[in-house]
Protein backbone atom coordinates (compact mmCIF):
# COMPACT_ATOMS: atom_id res chain seq x y z
CA UNK A 1 0.00 0.00 0.00
CA UNK A 2 1.24 3.48 -0.82
CA UNK A 3 1.11 6.41 1.58
CA UNK A 4 -1.62 8.07 -0.45
CA UNK A 5 -4.24 7.35 2.20
CA UNK A 6 -2.08 8.10 5.23
CA UNK A 7 -3.80 10.68 7.38
CA UNK A 8 -2.94 12.51 10.56
CA UNK A 9 -5.88 13.30 12.80
CA UNK A 10 -5.14 15.47 15.82
CA UNK A 11 -1.59 14.18 15.89
CA UNK A 12 -2.63 10.52 15.57
CA UNK A 13 -1.50 8.79 12.37
CA UNK A 14 -4.03 6.65 10.53
CA UNK A 15 -2.57 4.45 7.78
CA UNK A 16 -5.82 5.10 5.96
CA UNK A 17 -8.76 7.32 6.92
CA UNK A 18 -11.35 4.55 7.26
CA UNK A 19 -12.66 3.49 10.66
CA UNK A 20 -15.62 1.35 11.65
CA UNK A 21 -18.23 3.36 13.54
CA UNK A 22 -19.16 2.74 17.15
CA UNK A 23 -22.00 0.32 17.76
CA UNK A 24 -21.73 -1.40 14.40
CA UNK A 25 -18.63 -3.53 14.97
CA UNK A 26 -18.61 -4.56 18.64
CA UNK A 27 -14.95 -4.58 19.70
CA UNK A 28 -13.73 -5.82 16.34
CA UNK A 29 -13.76 -9.58 16.93
CA UNK A 30 -16.68 -10.50 14.67
CA UNK A 31 -15.57 -8.58 11.58
CA UNK A 32 -12.08 -10.01 11.95
CA UNK A 33 -13.61 -13.31 10.83
CA UNK A 34 -14.40 -11.64 7.46
CA UNK A 35 -11.22 -9.68 6.85
CA UNK A 36 -8.05 -8.73 8.67
CA UNK A 37 -9.37 -5.72 10.57
CA UNK A 38 -5.84 -4.38 10.67
CA UNK A 39 -6.53 -3.26 7.10
CA UNK A 40 -8.65 -0.55 8.71
CA UNK A 41 -7.31 2.81 9.71
CA UNK A 42 -9.26 2.74 12.95
CA UNK A 43 -11.90 0.99 15.00
CA UNK A 44 -14.44 2.68 17.28
CA UNK A 45 -15.49 0.46 20.16
CA UNK A 46 -19.09 -0.24 21.05
CA UNK A 47 -20.31 2.70 23.14
CA UNK A 48 -19.30 2.09 26.74
CA UNK A 49 -20.83 3.43 29.91
CA UNK A 50 -19.49 3.45 33.46
CA UNK A 51 -21.69 0.50 34.41
CA UNK A 52 -22.89 -2.35 32.23
CA UNK A 53 -26.21 -1.73 30.48
CA UNK A 54 -28.68 -4.34 29.27
CA UNK A 55 -30.04 -2.11 26.56
CA UNK A 56 -33.59 -1.47 25.45
CA UNK A 57 -36.54 -3.87 25.43
CA UNK A 58 -38.70 -4.59 22.42
CA UNK A 59 -37.82 -4.40 18.77
CA UNK A 60 -34.39 -2.91 18.26
CA UNK A 61 -34.13 -2.62 14.49
CA UNK A 62 -36.52 -1.56 11.74
CA UNK A 63 -35.72 -1.27 8.07
CA UNK A 64 -36.63 1.84 6.09
CA UNK A 65 -36.09 2.72 2.44
CA UNK A 66 -32.29 3.03 2.19
CA UNK A 67 -31.74 2.85 5.91
CA UNK A 68 -32.43 1.31 9.28
CA UNK A 69 -33.65 2.62 12.58
CA UNK A 70 -32.12 1.21 15.73
CA UNK A 71 -32.91 1.35 19.38
CA UNK A 72 -30.24 -0.77 21.03
CA UNK A 73 -29.95 1.56 24.01
CA UNK A 74 -26.21 1.38 24.63
CA UNK A 75 -26.12 -2.28 25.62
CA UNK A 76 -22.53 -2.75 26.77
CA UNK A 77 -20.46 -4.59 29.37
CA UNK A 78 -19.25 -1.45 31.18
CA UNK A 79 -15.86 0.26 31.16
CA UNK A 80 -14.19 -2.08 33.65
CA UNK A 81 -15.17 -5.23 31.79
CA UNK A 82 -13.97 -3.66 28.54
CA UNK A 83 -10.59 -2.89 30.11
CA UNK A 84 -10.27 -6.45 31.38
CA UNK A 85 -11.47 -8.25 28.25
CA UNK A 86 -10.97 -6.14 25.12
CA UNK A 87 -8.67 -3.17 25.59
CA UNK A 88 -5.32 -5.01 25.35
CA UNK A 89 -6.41 -6.81 22.20
CA UNK A 90 -7.61 -3.58 20.60
CA UNK A 91 -4.32 -1.87 21.50
CA UNK A 92 -2.32 -4.73 20.04
CA UNK A 93 -3.90 -4.24 16.62
CA UNK A 94 -2.19 -2.22 13.94
CA UNK A 95 -4.93 0.43 13.78
CA UNK A 96 -6.06 3.48 15.70
CA UNK A 97 -7.92 2.34 18.79
CA UNK A 98 -10.86 4.67 19.35
CA UNK A 99 -12.78 4.03 22.57
CA UNK A 100 -16.33 5.34 22.51
CA UNK A 101 -17.83 6.49 25.80
CA UNK A 102 -21.41 7.39 26.54
CA UNK A 103 -23.13 8.43 29.72
CA UNK A 104 -26.30 9.69 31.22
CA UNK A 105 -24.94 11.94 33.93
CA UNK A 106 -21.91 14.16 34.35
CA UNK A 107 -20.75 12.04 37.28
CA UNK A 108 -20.85 8.85 35.22
CA UNK A 109 -18.91 10.43 32.39
CA UNK A 110 -16.24 11.74 34.71
CA UNK A 111 -15.79 8.51 36.64
CA UNK A 112 -15.44 6.54 33.42
CA UNK A 113 -13.00 9.07 32.00
CA UNK A 114 -10.89 8.83 35.12
CA UNK A 115 -10.80 5.05 34.98
CA UNK A 116 -9.74 5.19 31.32
CA UNK A 117 -7.02 7.75 32.10
CA UNK A 118 -4.92 4.96 33.58
CA UNK A 119 -4.92 2.94 30.37
CA UNK A 120 -3.47 3.30 26.93
CA UNK A 121 -5.80 4.06 24.04
CA UNK A 122 -5.42 6.30 21.00
CA UNK A 123 -8.56 8.43 21.00
CA UNK A 124 -11.53 8.78 23.33
CA UNK A 125 -14.68 9.44 21.34
CA UNK A 126 -17.27 10.98 23.61
CA UNK A 127 -20.85 10.20 22.68
CA UNK A 128 -23.03 13.11 23.72
CA UNK A 129 -25.62 12.20 21.16
CA UNK A 130 -27.15 8.79 21.66
CA UNK A 131 -30.89 9.34 21.26
CA UNK A 132 -31.82 6.10 22.97
CA UNK A 133 -31.13 6.73 26.61
CA UNK A 134 -34.08 8.35 28.26
CA UNK A 135 -31.96 9.60 31.11
CA UNK A 136 -30.55 12.45 29.08
CA UNK A 137 -27.87 11.39 26.58
CA UNK A 138 -29.88 13.29 24.01
CA UNK A 139 -29.96 16.53 25.93
CA UNK A 140 -26.21 16.87 26.27
CA UNK A 141 -25.89 16.80 22.51
CA UNK A 142 -28.82 19.04 21.60
CA UNK A 143 -28.16 22.32 23.35
CA UNK A 144 -24.88 24.07 22.68
CA UNK A 145 -24.44 25.37 26.19
CA UNK A 146 -25.07 21.96 27.77
CA UNK A 147 -22.59 20.36 25.41
CA UNK A 148 -20.10 23.09 26.26
CA UNK A 149 -20.33 22.29 29.97
CA UNK A 150 -19.86 18.57 29.42
CA UNK A 151 -16.88 19.06 27.16
CA UNK A 152 -15.34 21.57 29.54
CA UNK A 153 -15.54 19.21 32.52
CA UNK A 154 -14.42 16.17 30.59
CA UNK A 155 -11.56 18.03 28.94
CA UNK A 156 -10.27 18.96 32.37
CA UNK A 157 -10.37 15.34 33.52
CA UNK A 158 -9.38 13.51 30.34
CA UNK A 159 -5.74 12.75 29.55
CA UNK A 160 -6.49 11.22 26.17
CA UNK A 161 -7.10 12.76 22.79
CA UNK A 162 -10.75 13.77 22.97
CA UNK A 163 -13.14 13.66 20.03
CA UNK A 164 -16.76 14.68 20.58
CA UNK A 165 -19.35 12.72 18.60
CA UNK A 166 -22.09 15.11 17.57
CA UNK A 167 -25.78 14.55 17.12
CA UNK A 168 -27.50 15.75 13.96
CA UNK A 169 -30.40 16.48 16.27
CA UNK A 170 -28.45 19.38 17.77
CA UNK A 171 -30.28 22.69 17.71
CA UNK A 172 -27.31 24.24 15.90
CA UNK A 173 -24.62 21.75 15.06
CA UNK A 174 -22.18 24.40 13.86
CA UNK A 175 -22.29 26.44 17.05
CA UNK A 176 -22.17 23.22 19.09
CA UNK A 177 -19.03 22.10 17.21
CA UNK A 178 -17.46 25.52 17.80
CA UNK A 179 -18.20 25.19 21.51
CA UNK A 180 -16.41 21.82 21.52
CA UNK A 181 -13.39 23.44 19.90
CA UNK A 182 -13.42 26.36 22.34
CA UNK A 183 -13.49 23.95 25.26
CA UNK A 184 -10.43 22.10 24.03
CA UNK A 185 -11.73 19.08 22.13
CA UNK A 186 -9.11 17.59 19.79
CA UNK A 187 -11.71 16.87 17.12
CA UNK A 188 -15.36 16.15 16.41
CA UNK A 189 -17.10 13.26 14.71
CA UNK A 190 -20.46 13.60 12.98
CA UNK A 191 -23.13 12.61 12.51
CA UNK A 192 -24.67 10.13 14.86
CA UNK A 193 -28.15 8.84 13.96
CA UNK A 194 -31.18 11.01 13.22
CA UNK A 195 -34.08 10.78 15.62
CA UNK A 196 -36.86 8.97 13.77
CA UNK A 197 -40.08 7.04 14.25
CA UNK A 198 -42.08 4.13 12.86
CA UNK A 199 -45.65 3.07 13.66
CA UNK A 200 -47.12 -0.42 13.70
CA UNK A 201 -50.53 -0.04 12.05
CA UNK A 202 -51.90 -3.33 13.34
CA UNK A 203 -51.10 -2.49 16.95
CA UNK A 204 -51.67 1.24 16.46
CA UNK A 205 -48.51 1.81 18.47
CA UNK A 206 -44.96 2.97 17.84
CA UNK A 207 -42.72 0.13 16.64
CA UNK A 208 -40.10 1.01 19.27
CA UNK A 209 -40.69 0.89 23.01
CA UNK A 210 -38.87 4.23 23.32
CA UNK A 211 -41.18 5.64 20.61
CA UNK A 212 -38.24 7.20 18.74
CA UNK A 213 -35.14 5.51 17.39
CA UNK A 214 -31.99 6.46 15.47
CA UNK A 215 -32.04 6.46 11.67
CA UNK A 216 -28.83 5.53 9.87
CA UNK A 217 -27.70 4.25 6.49
CA UNK A 218 -27.56 5.74 3.00
CA UNK A 219 -30.86 7.58 3.61
CA UNK A 220 -29.07 10.10 5.85
CA UNK A 221 -25.89 10.52 3.79
CA UNK A 222 -26.69 13.77 1.99
CA UNK A 223 -27.70 15.47 5.24
CA UNK A 224 -24.67 14.20 7.16
CA UNK A 225 -22.44 15.31 4.30
CA UNK A 226 -23.93 18.80 4.42
CA UNK A 227 -23.39 18.98 8.19
CA UNK A 228 -19.78 17.78 7.87
CA UNK A 229 -19.21 20.46 5.24
CA UNK A 230 -20.67 23.18 7.45
CA UNK A 231 -18.79 22.09 10.56
CA UNK A 232 -15.47 21.52 8.81
CA UNK A 233 -15.61 25.08 7.53
CA UNK A 234 -16.47 26.50 10.91
CA UNK A 235 -13.83 24.85 13.12
CA UNK A 236 -10.08 24.35 12.84
CA UNK A 237 -10.00 21.04 14.74
CA UNK A 238 -10.24 17.92 12.52
CA UNK A 239 -13.54 16.27 11.68
CA UNK A 240 -14.42 12.59 11.41
CA UNK A 241 -17.24 12.28 8.90
CA UNK A 242 -19.88 9.61 9.04
CA UNK A 243 -23.52 9.05 8.18
CA UNK A 244 -24.61 6.62 5.51
CA UNK A 245 -21.27 6.08 3.77
CA UNK A 246 -21.70 2.93 1.68
CA UNK A 247 -19.24 3.33 -1.23
CA UNK A 248 -15.72 4.65 -1.78
CA UNK A 249 -17.28 7.49 -3.72
CA UNK A 250 -19.26 8.50 -0.63
CA UNK A 251 -16.04 8.44 1.37
CA UNK A 252 -14.28 10.71 -1.11
CA UNK A 253 -17.25 13.10 -0.98
CA UNK A 254 -16.90 13.37 2.81
CA UNK A 255 -13.16 14.04 2.42
CA UNK A 256 -13.83 16.75 -0.18
CA UNK A 257 -16.40 18.23 2.19
CA UNK A 258 -13.69 18.53 4.80
CA UNK A 259 -13.56 15.28 6.80
CA UNK A 260 -10.09 14.11 7.84
CA UNK A 261 -11.20 10.58 8.74
CA UNK A 262 -14.40 8.80 7.77
CA UNK A 263 -16.34 6.10 9.60
CA UNK A 264 -18.41 3.31 8.14
CA UNK A 265 -21.35 2.04 10.14
CA UNK A 266 -24.63 0.62 8.89
CA UNK A 267 -23.25 -0.19 5.44
CA UNK A 268 -21.17 -3.00 6.97
CA UNK A 269 -24.50 -4.80 7.41
CA UNK A 270 -25.01 -4.73 3.64
CA UNK A 271 -21.61 -6.31 3.14
CA UNK A 272 -19.33 -7.16 6.05
CA UNK A 273 -16.25 -6.56 3.88
CA UNK A 274 -17.43 -3.14 2.73
CA UNK A 275 -14.79 -1.13 4.61
CA UNK A 276 -12.04 -2.94 2.71
CA UNK A 277 -13.78 -2.18 -0.60
CA UNK A 278 -13.93 1.49 0.40
CA UNK A 279 -10.21 1.59 1.27
CA UNK A 280 -9.29 -0.11 -2.01
CA UNK A 281 -11.58 2.15 -4.02
CA UNK A 282 -10.16 5.31 -2.45
CA UNK A 283 -6.60 4.15 -3.12
CA UNK A 284 -7.46 3.41 -6.75
CA UNK A 285 -9.17 6.77 -7.20
CA UNK A 286 -6.14 8.66 -5.91
CA UNK A 287 -3.78 6.63 -8.06
CA UNK A 288 -5.84 7.07 -11.22
CA UNK A 289 -6.11 10.80 -10.63
CA UNK A 290 -2.43 11.30 -9.86
CA UNK A 291 -3.11 12.41 -6.30
CA UNK A 292 -0.14 11.78 -4.01
CA UNK A 293 -2.05 12.16 -0.78
CA UNK A 294 -5.66 12.54 0.25
CA UNK A 295 -4.79 15.93 1.77
CA UNK A 296 -4.71 17.35 -1.77
CA UNK A 297 -8.46 16.97 -2.08
CA UNK A 298 -9.50 17.36 1.55
CA UNK A 299 -11.88 20.22 2.14
CA UNK A 300 -11.57 21.53 -1.41
CA UNK A 301 -15.25 22.41 -1.53
Partner 1 sequence: MSKILENQKITEDFYLMKVEQDNDASMGQFYMLRAWDKYPLLSRPISVYDADEKTVSFLYKVVGQGTEIFKELKSGDEITLDGPHGNGFPDATGKIALVGGGVGVAPLYLTAKKLKEAHPEATVDMFLGFSGEAMLVDAYEAAADSVTVNVGGFVTDDIDPTKYDVIMTCGPEIMMKVLYKKCVSVGATAPLYVSMENRMACGIGACLVCTCKTANGNKRACKDGPVMLGSEVFGNE
Catalytic positions are 130
**Residue of 57, 107, 172, 182 that binds partner 1 (CB under 8 A):** 57
CB atoms within 10 A of CB 3: 11
Q: Is 130 in the site for partner 1 (CB under 8 A)?
A: no
**Residue of 102, 214, 218, 243 that binds partner 1 (CB under 8 A):** 218
Which is closer to partner 1, CB of 53 or CB of 298? 53
Q: Is 22 in the site for partner 1 (CB under 8 A)?
A: no
Single out the residue of 152, 145, 137 nearest to residue 212, CA to CA.
Answer: 137
Cα end-to-end distance, the chain, whole Å: 27
Three-state SS at 75: coil
CA distance 110 to 114: 6
Q: Is 290 in the site for partner 1 (CB under 8 A)?
A: no
**Residue of 266, 276, 294, 298 that binds partner 1 (CB under 8 A):** 266
Among the listed ranges 10-18, 67-75, 140-148, 220-228, the one in contact with partner 1 (CB under 8 A) is: 67-75
CB 98 within 8 A of CB 19: yes
Which is closer to partner 1, CB of 169 or CB of 266? 266
Single out the residue of 45, 41, 44 nearest to residue 95, CA to CA.
Answer: 41
CA distance 197 to 287: 43
Q: Is 246 in the site for partner 1 (CB under 8 A)?
A: yes
**Residue of 59, 174, 197, 297 that binds partner 1 (CB under 8 A):** 59
β-bridge mates for residue 96, sequence order: 42
CA distance 232 to 259: 7
Q: Which residues bind partner 1 (CB under 8 A)?
A: 23-26, 30-31, 33-34, 46, 54-55, 57, 59-63, 65-68, 70, 72, 75, 217-218, 246, 266, 268-270, 272
Amino acid sequence: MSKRLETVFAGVTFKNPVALASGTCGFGKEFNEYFDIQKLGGLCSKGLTLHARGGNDGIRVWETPSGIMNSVGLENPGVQHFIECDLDRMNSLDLVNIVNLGGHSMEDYLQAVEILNDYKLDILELNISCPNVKAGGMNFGVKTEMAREVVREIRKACKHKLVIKLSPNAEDIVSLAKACEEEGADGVSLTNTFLAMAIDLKKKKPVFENTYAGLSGPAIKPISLRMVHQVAHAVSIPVMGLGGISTWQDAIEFIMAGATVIQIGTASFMNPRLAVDVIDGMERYLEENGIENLSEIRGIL
